Amino acid sequence: MIGAGIAGASAAAALSSDADVIVIEAEDQPGYHTTGRSAAFYAESYGGPLIQPLTSASKDFYLHTPAGFADVPLVHDRGCLHLYSARNKAKAKARAEALAARLPAITRLCADEVLARVPVLRPQALAGAIWDPDCRDLDVATIHQAICARCAGMAGG
């Protein structure tokens, strides 16, 4: 495997149960360039029909971390507002309905409800938001360290 960022380390850990795997990393430490800057937000409402099922498939792992993987939670509650303008109100309504069919916690908020939560927004640019209370922050550093430890453990150290 070339690269020991979160993607390379994850692939190596997954493959190592069935094959011998070598991880090649150019930097002094794994994940030097990208880990922690990307993919730090868990949102089943993000992405299209190809991405959302992949995100949903990982939910149980993040919410119910396997024993021995990490000593701390991998996710922390955050919530997410998907803002929309008056011009996009019909599209947002359709998107909210489609999301709510899969994710029952999804709701629409009017502009006043959004401004009560985030008063720094410009009222004239805002018609409302889709509220997803189940979005979470991912503890990418912990996830990456646990995956790297698994790779090292399967290699015998």
For the record, the structure tokens of 2 come out as 């070339």
Confidence at residue 40, expressed as pLDDT on a 0 to 100 scale? 87
**Has this prediction a pTM greater than 0.85?**
no
Q: What structural domains and CATH numbers belong to the chain? A: 1-76+137-157 (3.50.50.60), 80-133 (no CATH)
Confidence at residue 30, expressed as pLDDT on a 0 to 100 scale? 84
Confidence at residue 157, expressed as pLDDT on a 0 to 100 scale? 46
pLDDT along the chain (157 residues), means of 10: 87 88 87 69 90 94 93 95 97 96 96 98 96 95 90 64
Q: What's the CA dihedral at 41, 46, 50, 54 to 10 degrees?
A: 40
Confidence at residue 156, expressed as pLDDT on a 0 to 100 scale? 52
